[in-house]
Amino acid sequence: MAEDKKQVSSEQHTLYAQDILEKKKLIDKDKNLYEITPKHTVYRIFIGRFFELKKGLHAVFNELKKAKKDDKFEIIINSGGGFVNEGMQFYNIILEKFPNSTTTYLDNRGYSMGALLFSMGSKRVIYPYSDLMYHNYAGGAFGKGEEIKAQVKHFDKLIQNFFHEIIVSQGFLSEDEYRKMIIGKDYWFDAKELCKRGIATHVIVDGEEITAKEFLKLLKKRKKAKKQKKKLTKEASSNQKSKKNKK
């Protein structure tokens, strides 16, 4: 059973908190063994643009800071990107409160910072038409000449290290691909490529969550079936023409 707890909204995002009651599952009747899922809270946030200009994310992160050991974090992403700083804030809260209990959902697009946020999940779930794009950041600086140089150099090093940790350290892009990304290449991935690279760990198909490996097998099976159907259709059409010619 679950009980709605509260809802917190910023300009671009909405966070829901839901209490999940303790659940027991019988493992061995003779030994009276149960698998127990303790009472916990599921924090679920819907991500749009990373572009908070008025209130910021104070209320959202204040609520997430209350999370306890067994709590879980779900991030539902449909984002074209935005401020890198906000993405870093989410990374910090994941490291602090949900290092192994964050599930990210790619619904439907995750570009730029949206792609980075999806990649932060310990479990990463997509749909058959999910779309993701990695690229380098865009920005600017203001001030006196030497100050601009120092600021740009410092920020560039910081962001490149951050991107590298999220994307390359997990094996989503190779070092060579990453270097090309830094100088301007965009990397676009559909569901199949996301599964092949391990960026996605699970896929929701026909109401069921399956592993990325199972999804790739399913695509292969569907492709084979489609090819076979096309072959049978072609043969049927050819037989029909032969019968007409005999007449």
DSSP 101-163: -EEEEEEEEEETHHHHHHHT-SEEEE-TT-EEEE--------SSHHHHHHHHHHHHHHHHHHH
Give me the pLDDT at residue 185, please. 96
CATH number (domain holding residue 89): 3.90.226.10
Give me the pLDDT at residue 2, please. 54
User: How many separate domains does the chain show?
Assistant: 1
First CA to last CA distance, the chain: 70
Among all chains, which residue has been given the structure tokens 């991030």?
A: 75
Give me the pLDDT at residue 244, please. 64
For 16, the domain range is 2-246
Give me the pLDDT at residue 230, please. 83
pLDDT along the chain (247 residues), means of 10: 70 91 86 87 93 84 94 96 92 97 96 97 98 88 80 88 96 97 96 98 97 97 89 76 63
d(CA 80, CA 50): 8
